[in-house]
Structure 1
Amino acid sequence: MNPVLAACTAVALSQAVTSAPESFLLGTWANPEHSLEVRIARCGATLCGMVATASAEEIADARDSGSPGLVGMMLLRHYRADGPGHWSGNVFVPDIGRELSSHIVALDKDHVRVSGCLMGRFLCKSQVWQRA
């Protein structure tokens, strides 16, 4: 590929992702193992995400941690855009039975990095989710 064309394409894609509107997150996203899918929708003035499908192992792990009924559970809560291609809210982690502060960053048109953090934006664990 022509180097100038490659550079222009990279800049255009970067601008599209970093200026991603709130609607960018709407739809269904899968975790890295494709063992869990979360459907993100509007919930009043914010965005939220509910478990659409989960593997038997994910369901058992959640149940063993005191979170029965994984499918249909609201995992992502109160997300708002707080910068270009960046959203903040709360994530409920069924494996530990806790709600954590969270942020989501658009990586490209089909991938986001979802982070759950113990303290603000510190002590975070992240996963890259793919559009399902």
Structure 2
Amino acid sequence: MGQPVVHFEIIGTDPAKLRSYYGDLFGWKFDTSGPVSEAVSEPGNYGFIDPSVSSGGVGIPGGVGGGAGFAAQVTFYVGVPDVEAALQRAESLGGTRRMGPSRAPGTNLVVGHFTDPEGHLIGVAGTA
């Protein structure tokens, strides 16, 4: 297999309401204390989901966040060794860079977004 999906996120204008909805729907618990790039969500308004606390301890890590001014979207992130190189490669194949690379404050996590030739938003994530 190539590079794996390592994270998903659900972004909207009312992240607290979204977290309540998905928490009630799927039993997800959220931790809003972690840092996140301001290009992804308002600080303190992004809730990380830890799949290790799910039944069976399996799943892909994810998060729900956003805030006023953030477009509604669902994104998955592919783990890559170099976010800038992945964004450049996406562009060379007909995609369009939308964001990044952007670092989460106080971490070595770097993320970027691009759209594929049909307009689907995809994320890439790596470390710096």
TM bracket, shorter-chain basis: under 0.3
User: Which of the pair has more CA radius of gyration?
Assistant: 1
What TM-score do you get using the length of structure 2 for normalisation? 0.28
Q: Greater RCO between the two (CA within 8 Å, min separation 6)?
A: 2
The answer to which structure has the higher strand fraction is 1
